Structure 1
Amino acid sequence: MKGTGSMTDERLPLYQRLRDDMLAKIAAGEWAPGGAIPTEAELTKHYGVAVGTLRKAVDTLVQDGLMKRSQGRGTFVLRPNFESSLFRFFRQVDARGERRIPNGRILARELTSPPSYVADALALAASENVIRLERVRELDGTTVYHEEIWLPAGRFEALMQIDPDDFGNLLYPFYETQCGQLIGSARETLTVETADATLAGVLGIGAGQPVVMIERLAFGYDRTPLEYRRSRGAANTFRYQVDIS
């Protein structure tokens, strides 16, 4: 296959190597989320592959929700909405029973050495630092989640120069505009813990009460780990709901 020097693992099927190269173009900013990718004719010529191979690669990206075909218009790069995914299954409601997404507020920011489990998750070298954000998510002034967020300092250093009050509620678009880092996918794991005195004070519950912890590892479009996050909320505020059809 011609037209790229980034696909070096010849053990992978050709369509998978093609898929990975497409993702690398998005991660590098060559293809922007919301924009159309080149036509099939342009891509088959660029890569020197059959149209069937190209379509199979694009099919996998469409199935993963990273691209969308639009009849008569072409294929577009999608921008996943991860900020709302936390609340897709765990519904937060106000006093009137209306579903709402809590607002985010940064409590603290620091440049620091990562704990070993964070360094492992983000695939960092021993000498690399992280930016640690402490954030709460609130509804009507009441804290419903406490979050710890770790980011590779080398990729997100611009965040150290921005007033925490200016971060806004949606962090992933903020990462993109301020640091040029695009989140393409994420993996979440849910566990149940008990609150220590500090967390209990933040959440307004008793020490030892159960909390739900959602651990998220977010990746760039090229599968580079970009963010490790732990969100904790009182277990009695969670309502798990899945629509099956």
Structure 2
Amino acid sequence: MELSKCGHDERLPLYQQVRDEIFKNIQCGVWLPDVAIPTEAELTKHYGVAIGTIRKAVDTLVADGVLYRSQGRGTFVRRPDFSSSLFRFFRQVSLDGKVSIPTGNILSRTLVLPPEHIAKSLKIKPNEITIRLERNRVLDNSVVLTEEIWLPESLFASLSDIELTSFGNLLYPFYEKQCGLLVASATETLSIESAMPETASVLGIDEGRPVAVIERVAYSYDKTPLEYRISRGPAETFRYQVNIS
């Protein structure tokens, strides 16, 4: 792929125009996660601007968490890390007393029309097919979290006939490997509900007990919704922490 050149609103500061074009190259997959982008000198030559403009544009993307600098190696596209984000909220302790991240088991995969609110969150039409996954998170042979996941079939068609055991523990790297889709950001909504019979049975708790619910919409770099996920776990293991300064 060739690098795009500045073509944004010229009323924007020049560094912002360059910043947007660098970001566009990341969105389009010209520069991949954990791969170095061109040097400041190379970017200066390509965009025909002063090195100070390039430096400010790159600084903005570093501050936004899109890029990171490695001393003596260059500037790289940051790979978002969601591997333990859910467990900011659910603290799971194994039998030996260690804080652990449960493993994930895909139980089922179906092609379904999504509920209206999920179709809206995924920005698809209600009559568009989604791949629905059911997954449990297991620790010491006990289910500690249950999850429902919806994926637009138009984007994830290659997952329709893959063995369920092939999905692995971390889904986002799997999406990238199998479908070429990189999750770059997500929004999460937290709530509490009473455990319905099926959820209570899976989690091994009494019906009606409080359950913490995390609804997540995951996005690509260009903010295309890729995944809608609902995770449920016993409220007794739920912890919320925020630092205020």
The CA deviation at 1:189 is 1.7
CA distance in structure 2 between the partners assigned to 1:101 and 1:202 by the alignment: 18
Deviates more, 1:99-108 or 1:222-231: 222-231
The CA deviation at 1:210 is 0.5
- CA 21–120 in structure 1, closer or farther in 2 if over 3 Å, else same: farther
Q: 1:184, 1:221 within 8 Å by CA — same for their partners in 2?
A: yes
Q: 1:89, 1:242 within 8 Å by CA — same for their partners in 2?
A: no
Q: What residue is the counterpart of 2:55 in the other structure? A: 55
Question: Hey, which bits of structure 1, 4+ residues long, moved more than 6 A?
Answer: none
Q: What residue is the counterpart of 1:100 in the other structure? A: 100
**What TM-score do you get using the length of structure 2 for normalisation?**
0.89
The CA deviation at 1:115 is 1.2
Query: What are the ranges of 5 or more consecutive residues in structure 1 without an aligned counterpart?
Result: none
- State the percentage of identical aligned residues: 60
- SS at structure 2 position matched to 1:83: coil
- SS at structure 1 position matched to 2:83: helix
Q: What residue is the counterpart of 1:72 in the other structure? A: 72
The CA deviation at 1:4 is 2.9
Query: What are the ranges of 5 or more consecutive residues in structure 2 without an aligned counterpart?
Result: none
- SS at structure 1 position matched to 2:191: strand
Deviates more, 1:98-107 or 1:231-240: 231-240
The CA deviation at 1:127 is 4.0
Question: Is 1:164 matched up with 2:156?
Answer: no
Deviates more, 1:4-13 or 1:220-229: 4-13
Deviations 1:75-99 (A, max 9, x none): 0112111021111343211122201
- SS at structure 2 position matched to 1:55: helix
Q: What residue is the counterpart of 2:222 in the other structure? A: 222
**Which one-letter code corresponds to 2:226 in the other structure?**
L
Question: Is 1:42 matched up with 2:3?
Answer: no
Question: How many aligned positions are there?
Answer: 243
Matching of residues 89-238 of structure 1 within 5 Å: 89-238=89-238
The CA deviation at 1:22 is 3.0
- SS at structure 1 position matched to 2:160: helix
- SS at structure 2 position matched to 1:93: coil
CA distance in structure 1 between the partners assigned to 2:19 and 2:129 by the alignment: 31
CA distance in structure 1 between the partners assigned to 2:11 and 2:136 by the alignment: 45
CA distance in structure 2 between the partners assigned to 1:123 and 1:200 by the alignment: 31
The CA deviation at 1:60 is 2.8
The CA deviation at 1:122 is 1.2
Deviates more, 1:221-230 or 1:23-32: 23-32
CA distance in structure 2 between the partners assigned to 1:11 and 1:228 by the alignment: 37
Q: What residue is the counterpart of 1:22 in the other structure? A: 22
> Over aligned residues, Cα RMSD in angstroms?
2.3
Deviations 1:130-170 (A, max 9, x none): 11111110101111111111111111111112111110001
Deviations 1:29-72 (A, max 9, x none): 22111110011122233234443333333223222322111222
CA distance in structure 1 between the partners assigned to 2:34 and 2:44 by the alignment: 22
CA distance in structure 2 between the partners assigned to 1:193 and 1:7 by the alignment: 49
